[in-house]
Structure 1
Amino acid sequence: MDRDALLEHVRTRRGSARSPLVVGVSGHCGSGKSMFARALVDTMPGAVRIRGDDFLDPTRSHRRSTDWDGVERLRLAAEVLEPHRAGRASTFRRFDWSARALGAPEPLPTTDLLVVDLIGLFHPEVRGLLDLAVWCDVDLDEAARRGIARDRELGRSHEALWRDVWIPNDRDFAERFAPRESADIRYRSRVRQPDIRTPGDG
């Protein structure tokens, strides 16, 4: 599905919904999840985005696992998804990356449309709490190239993590849980593929 059709689909679902909606956006690392989630919220007045980085454990997300163990899905469900869908007040905690600890509780925003973008999101622990699951349909190799290039542009050197942890984790998660197949919609992002050559590569 292209971007315009997807946005119109979300608007239609929102307009006909009888209860608050959750749109989950997932895909491989580097597939454009956050970019699309921001664009979606920007075009939907009153929508709220929950950042995936707020629900990552920085130590566990840097380790090999077959189920993206570093993604705190149960905390996401208890603090955000379940209360939002029930329309009840709640507080949630963002991970404070500077302090390397959970931040203070803050009120969960009141909205009829919540957008969550996160790796490892289409997992049995939370899949049933997503009203609309959008998969950023970029294959693993291309997503990794994009992510590595993005990190380099930001001055981050994570090549070993990509090679030894994040790419294998994505591959194993896909084999175990088939997130692409479980999505309601597959969205092909139009992100320009950056040049990731390093000096001397030719």
Structure 2
Amino acid sequence: MNQDDILGHIVERERVVEHPIVVGISGFCGSGKSTLARSLVAVLTEAVRLRGDDFLNPARSHRRSSDWDGVERDRLVSTVLEPFRQGRTGHFQRYDWAQRALGPEEPLPQTKTLVVDLIGLFHPAALPVLDVTIWCDVDLDTAARRGIARDRKLGRSHDALWHDVWLPNERDFEQRFNPREAADLLYAPSR
């Protein structure tokens, strides 16, 4: 599916649903989730992006787990996604990577559409509050090559994490939860 088809699907969903909608974008590390999220928000009216990295626990996201334990889905769902879909006002906290702690409270976005891009998002804890689910359909080896190259370009050396933690976590999560099958839409980014 191309980006125009995805946009059409989101706009139709906005039209028929009577509450603000959450668009969830997931895929393997390096598959293009953030790039797609930014491009969708740039063309959708009344849309805001929420970075998935704001809901990672760095200590746990750097350890092996079979369910991407470092993704703080419960905090994301209870403080952002549920209240947003219900049109409630509220506050949430992003993870502040520089301070290595939760940042200050900030208000929930008041908009029509919230776009969230995050590894491990298509999990039973989060799926019920995602109105549109998009899987960045890039195989794990290609996604990993892209992610490693991106990290190196940014001056980050995470090779050991990629090979010893993140790739095994991705394989385990895929086997356990089959996130591609949970997606409404499959998107194959070109590079």
| TM-score (ref. length: structure 2) | 0.98
Larger Rg: 1
In the alignment, does 2:105 pair up with 1:105? Answer: yes
More strand by share: 2
Q: CA deviation at 1:10?
A: 1.1
Q: Which residue does 2:91 correspond to in 1?
A: 91
Taking the aligned partners of 2:5 and 2:83, their CA distance within structure 1 comes to: 29
Taking the aligned partners of 1:142 and 1:15, their CA distance within structure 2 comes to: 36
Q: Which residue does 1:158 correspond to in 2?
A: 158
Q: Which residue does 2:82 correspond to in 1?
A: 82
Q: CA deviation at 1:16?
A: 2.6
* Matched position secondary structure for 1:69: coil
Taking the aligned partners of 2:75 and 2:148, their CA distance within structure 1 comes to: 28
Shift >4 Å, 4+ stretches: none
Task: For 1:12, give the aligned amino acid.
Answer: E
Q: Which residue does 1:138 correspond to in 2?
A: 138
Q: Which residue does 2:169 correspond to in 1?
A: 169
Q: CA deviation at 1:100?
A: 0.2
Q: Which residue does 2:38 correspond to in 1?
A: 38
Q: Which residue does 2:64 correspond to in 1?
A: 64
Aligned residues: 191
Q: CA deviation at 1:88?
A: 0.5
**Unpaired stretches in structure 2, ≥5 consecutive residues:** none
Taking the aligned partners of 1:162 and 1:13, their CA distance within structure 2 comes to: 36
Q: Root-mean-square deviation (CA), in Å? A: 0.7
Q: Percent identity?
A: 63
Q: Which residue does 1:14 correspond to in 2?
A: 14
Kindly report which structure 2 residues correspond to 1:119-130, keeping only aligned pairs within 5 A, or say none: 119-130=119-130
Taking the aligned partners of 1:125 and 1:11, their CA distance within structure 2 comes to: 25
Q: CA deviation at 1:54?
A: 0.3
Describe the superposition over 1:86-143 as per-residue Cα deviations: whole angstroms up to 9, x where unpaired. Answer: 1100100000000000001110010110111000000001111101110000000000
**Unpaired stretches in structure 1, ≥5 consecutive residues:** 193-202
Q: CA deviation at 1:15?
A: 2.4
Task: For 1:28, give the aligned amino acid.
Answer: F
Q: CA deviation at 1:3?
A: 1.4
* Matched position secondary structure for 1:59: helix
